[in-house]
Structure 1
């Protein structure tokens, strides 16, 4: 990989390197090596821990050694390979994995054959060193690659890149970070038309589309490296699942069983779906086993980077017995010592379950096992269904975004801040991506005008005239201050403003969202980083804390806590319910759930793939309607709001709404004729778009979405380090932009994008339409209840949870369950 010393590994060298480790390469690894050496691009889809990294990395080395790829770089030393990782947490581990085979292939450490790391965590001195002497291969993130494109010498420094590997492509495919990467790849292809690009994934349901997005329609090869690997999916069975479940009613009552599983295994990961849940379970495990202090740890994305790195190192070295974690450990770090994975609550998707199962047995030939810890009885049903779907290979697809103009606007300023651009040439480059292949001239001209003068409404403000046109026609960012602000804000990851959490003595613990700290007063206690903390003071975006000894505490709640049930898992759940309806209870989970499902059948009915369950009930609260489409929480929110609005059009009524992953409830304090549900008129897809927008506070939803779009497009500057702007400031600024555009620039395409993203991403309009169409064709199973059914009860609890404190809710539920059990 260096012109000062020949480093030209061959296929035979790769085979010998494996033999020296007492191994033989798999057929899919050899296939990738040959394809990459021949200059082919593609996508490798293989199980976690099966050897994907060695397949593409050794293939990259073989490609770089091929004579036809040996175009002279513009500098004596140049970076020739990029490894893109979606998470900074993975980057350091990836560098170690890539360095391992180099010396063995070369018969000693070759000069110039180096791998370096460059992310937002890389020190300025290390970046300067890399600029003086570029590494042959660079491990980086989409954001840092875009930052490199914003340098004036970007075309020179990146011209020699001839291989790009995108790790965990499924994590980027369905979001704006993936679009950001698509634009960067288009620029690299312009600099080197022979660029070889490979993606890696372990969990994807739409491989052909994923390949098309990665290669922008160019021919490529999909290599399926899924070797037979034992996958074990089971569940911890509660002694008394209960016949009237609700979310959280088991919860920590499963603690003793979890302690037993951890105790019986040398090393375990305990996955939780939210950071709040992880904090609670970590503290509960320590309370149950104080002797595990120092042997178990906590890991989630809001903890300080040094803490996370210490935990990751402890797992890899086999020093930790268990780690309670979130999706922060979902991806590719190789934790070979881990033998058990426990999942607290349903994973809600097949891909996520497979990803987490792969954290155990993370080596060729070793089985992967994941054990579900149910937080309510119906999650036993999800466990059985998830096993069915996983073994059948029914994995969720990731839908790529189409033409997000906020990302395009950011990219225009990025290139203008770097080498500059000419519009015609850059338009052709932008269209050489899947996301913008159909970009029309009108949208392109609007984007150009927006970066040149801020559109019709912001022309008077110099800060929004970010790009100027030179005398020779080149478009550049001439103001160094604006260029510096832009580089600090590059990226598409948008979240609420966060505050540092630090001990009064000075040690950093991590970050929490500003909105959570804003609800606390001095002296209030909360759980964070596995500790009980007391808020001492808040100053300059830092929450200063001290250790607390009290027992009453809050738990921080971060955004994105609830994940909806995926279509694939929902279909598998309905198939299991259909079997139960025929008296078939196969597997330990279904046998444990049998009393609950038989109770449901006696008082009502069971739904199925072709049967829609609808229940009505009159209680002291009023008139209830329960509908069970099994389409996921987000879709049910849309359906419930739609039904409520259409009913209110016919007769004035005030309806309360409750939703979960299985269905939704409508409640009226006054009599309602539910007969219209029987005639299916509420399920019509006519005028669906207009009705959905009318039924929800779509203006508020669009406003919230616009704040994120405005941040990506560069309208909102989050602030300099140490002086970050608060959430309220950003919200106020976003609201002001929204009002200005709505009044004076009605054709602003960012407003249209906000409305479109609300429909596509938040309301999931396509899934909602599909759910309505399926409901309209299903056999209705209508039951008028005398008391809540086991399926209806959790929806009533969800509604109570919104208006009762934890203590009052607990007392109320205890009485309700006792009454229902007596009646049963």
Structure 2
């Protein structure tokens, strides 16, 4: 085995990896030495090549070594940031395997006493919007060694003193799905949170970025950290199979003719496979495809996965797919990122792909392991879509991808953080100018820009027009100092983040079981007795209330 790969780990870790995983992938060989040496590291490789373990294993090994030496404190060391709450839960489950496996190797060698029988030794906690208050309080009293969170929850923790008390001991941070964050204001929001972490903690955190294929890598590295970044992106060959097809329209005209013909093709292909994911661009399309496939395969042959379905139903569907009990999952981009759904034989794309990067992500969901072939069938809904789908498939085959373009300045995001920072002990403009260069999208923000945003937050522009408004922050223009009050904290907590706030109605059965959510535009046009599809099942509206739609199950 080459020096610099498994040889950097403790003997227990090395033995567990060789026994349970085997040989390191090229990206793991490239990433481990850089991470172990303390470098900021960007790990870029296709889906299913072991990126997550390339980031975590070094830190797990290091924390277990601290436990052996008796220097491991009950405090936070590692932060993992995921763009999806469901992905955060997956990561916690996936961490159990190496933790328990390495400790099992220690027990077999007689060295397991340093932790205690039946214990994993390292505590892992998840902090998202779904985390109960009781667990949040427990986290403050006894911080975990590894914290799994989302960009929005990290921001909220930075806003409050209790959250800061947990975060201030962190040493390392892993940012997952960089390719999905880098071009968005949500990514800019996260980068400023990480820059604030650098100031909160005793020294700047070591930053690890995990990304699918991204271009240019140098731009992504600059986004990850203002300091030098080691790029671990070895060339990796992945066998792929892309097939583009479209309906023939040779049958008699009928309602949704293209969708019905696509559903028939999808159903035939599913009969030859164990588990399939069909991606569509829209929740209504996911429901439509599942409906027509279930007419052929029976109820439950296909299920749906999208943002309007309740968390409980999404988890149920993910588990069914992971167990191999579900033949077809009709999904939107909610399944595009790295949620663990087990072995997927094929992936379908219905409609022309909207982006090359998204197509590559979806393709990577099938044949997830490095040595398997990733198969995608693209179903065009019209002849014109067939042409553009073919062009997209050819670009994917050649390994092309869109160039990343991180947003810059983002003064609206800056305003949120300026309010959040004011809720603690306040700050000066000088302190803000120390933080901004460590967040790539804000590197060009000037002192005058910051002062202009602060004047806006203090209500100057409304006051100039004699409009009464309560200041969002208390801005001392003479000493250039900013403080906050209870109103500032309320704004920071309730209006943080960049995910659009949509008017949604909760959908419940007559027994009170939550099924999901509906857009307010749909509810405004709906009437009692109307039928619709949700979660691949038909429902009939029995009552529309202030913020809830009550339904009962119905035939389509």
Contact 2:472 2:484 in 1 (8 A): no
Where structure 1 has 5 or more consecutive residues not aligned to the other structure, the ranges are: 1-8, 243-247, 552-824
Per-residue deviation, 1:63: 5.5
For residue 166 of structure 1, the aligned residue among 169, 175, 200 is 175
Partners of 2:101 and 2:296 in 1: how far apart? 48
Which residue is 2:241 aligned to? Answer: 232
Which residue is 1:205 aligned to? Answer: 215
Contact 1:250 1:375 in 2 (8 A): yes
Per-residue deviation, 1:160: 1.5
Which residue is 1:466 aligned to? Answer: 473
Contact 2:82 2:148 in 1 (8 A): yes
Q: Aligned ranges for residues 225-374 of structure 1 at < 5 Å?
A: 225-236=234-245, 238-239=247-248, 250-290=258-298, 293-374=299-380
Matched, 1:449 2:446: no
Question: Which whole-Å deviations, capped at 9, do the CAs of 1:13-39 have from their partners, x for residues lacking one?
Answer: 443221121511124213211111111
Question: Which whole-Å deviations, capped at 9, do the CAs of 1:530-587 have from their partners, x for residues lacking one?
Answer: 22222222222111222334x5xxxxxxxxxxxxxxxxxxxxxxxxxxxxxxxxxxxx
Partners of 2:384 and 2:60 in 1: how far apart? 50
Would the alpha carbon gap of residues 401 and 343 (structure 1) be closer, same or farther in structure 2, given more than 3 Å must change?
same
Which residue is 1:508 aligned to? Answer: 514
Which residue is 1:478 aligned to? Answer: 485
Which residue is 1:29 aligned to? Answer: 28
SS in 1 for 2:461: coil
Deviates more, 1:156-165 or 1:354-363: 156-165
Would the alpha carbon gap of residues 62 and 21 (structure 1) be closer, same or farther in structure 2, given more than 3 Å must change?
closer
Q: Aligned ranges for residues 748-759 of structure 1 at < 5 Å?
A: none
Deviates more, 1:527-536 or 1:467-476: 467-476
Question: Which whole-Å deviations, capped at 9, do the CAs of 1:315-366 have from their partners, x for residues lacking one?
Answer: 1121211111111100101223211111111112221111111111112211
TM-score if structure 1 supplies the norm length? 0.61
Contact 2:140 2:165 in 1 (8 A): no
Contact 2:30 2:233 in 1 (8 A): no
Partners of 1:257 and 1:57 in 2: how far apart? 41
Per-residue deviation, 1:201: 1.1
Per-residue deviation, 1:65: 7.0
For residue 426 of structure 1, the aligned residue among 429, 432, 437 is 432
Where structure 2 has 5 or more consecutive residues not aligned to the other structure, the ranges are: 1-7, 107-111, 113-117
Q: Aligned ranges for residues 599-678 of structure 1 at < 5 Å?
A: none
Partners of 1:13 and 1:230 in 2: how far apart? 33
Per-residue deviation, 1:237: 5.2
Per-residue deviation, 1:227: 2.1
Matched, 1:122 2:122: no
Contact 1:205 1:396 in 2 (8 A): yes
Partners of 2:537 and 2:64 in 1: how far apart? 52
Matched, 1:187 2:199: no
Would the alpha carbon gap of residues 476 and 63 (structure 1) be closer, same or farther in structure 2, given more than 3 Å must change?
farther
TM-score if structure 2 supplies the norm length? 0.89
Per-residue deviation, 1:47: 1.2
Contact 2:159 2:421 in 1 (8 A): yes
Matched, 1:85 2:95: no
Contact 2:278 2:331 in 1 (8 A): yes
Would the alpha carbon gap of residues 77 and 298 (structure 1) be closer, same or farther in structure 2, given more than 3 Å must change?
same
SS in 2 for 1:429: helix
Partners of 1:218 and 1:126 in 2: how far apart? 35
Contact 1:33 1:62 in 2 (8 A): no
Per-residue deviation, 1:484: 3.2
Contact 1:77 1:134 in 2 (8 A): yes
Partners of 1:13 and 1:56 in 2: how far apart? 18
Partners of 1:279 and 1:446 in 2: how far apart? 47
Partners of 2:176 and 2:232 in 1: how far apart? 15
Per-residue deviation, 1:137: 0.4
Would the alpha carbon gap of residues 465 and 257 (structure 1) be closer, same or farther in structure 2, given more than 3 Å must change?
closer
Per-residue deviation, 1:508: 1.1
Would the alpha carbon gap of residues 154 and 237 (structure 1) be closer, same or farther in structure 2, given more than 3 Å must change?
closer
Would the alpha carbon gap of residues 121 and 344 (structure 1) be closer, same or farther in structure 2, given more than 3 Å must change?
same
Task: Give the structure with higher Rg (CA).
Answer: 1
Partners of 1:412 and 1:54 in 2: how far apart? 35
Which residue is 1:38 aligned to? Answer: 37
SS in 2 for 1:442: helix
For residue 143 of structure 1, the aligned residue among 124, 127, 152 is 152
Contact 2:310 2:517 in 1 (8 A): yes
Structure with higher RCO (Cα < 8 A, 6+ apart): 2
Partners of 1:454 and 1:66 in 2: how far apart? 55
Question: Which whole-Å deviations, capped at 9, do the CAs of 1:296-315 have from their partners, x for residues lacking one?
Answer: 31111110000001111111
Matched, 1:196 2:206: yes
Which residue is 1:377 aligned to? Answer: 383
Deviates more, 1:512-521 or 1:306-315: 512-521
Contact 2:40 2:207 in 1 (8 A): yes
Partners of 1:380 and 1:12 in 2: how far apart? 54
For residue 100 of structure 1, the aligned residue among 77, 97, 100 is 97
Contact 1:334 1:362 in 2 (8 A): no
Which residue is 1:519 aligned to? Answer: 525
Partners of 1:339 and 1:182 in 2: how far apart? 36
Contact 1:500 1:511 in 2 (8 A): yes
Would the alpha carbon gap of residues 63 and 41 (structure 1) be closer, same or farther in structure 2, given more than 3 Å must change?
farther
Would the alpha carbon gap of residues 111 and 104 (structure 1) be closer, same or farther in structure 2, given more than 3 Å must change?
closer
Contact 2:419 2:472 in 1 (8 A): no
Would the alpha carbon gap of residues 261 and 438 (structure 1) be closer, same or farther in structure 2, given more than 3 Å must change?
same
Partners of 2:172 and 2:145 in 1: how far apart? 11
Which residue is 1:706 aligned to? Answer: none
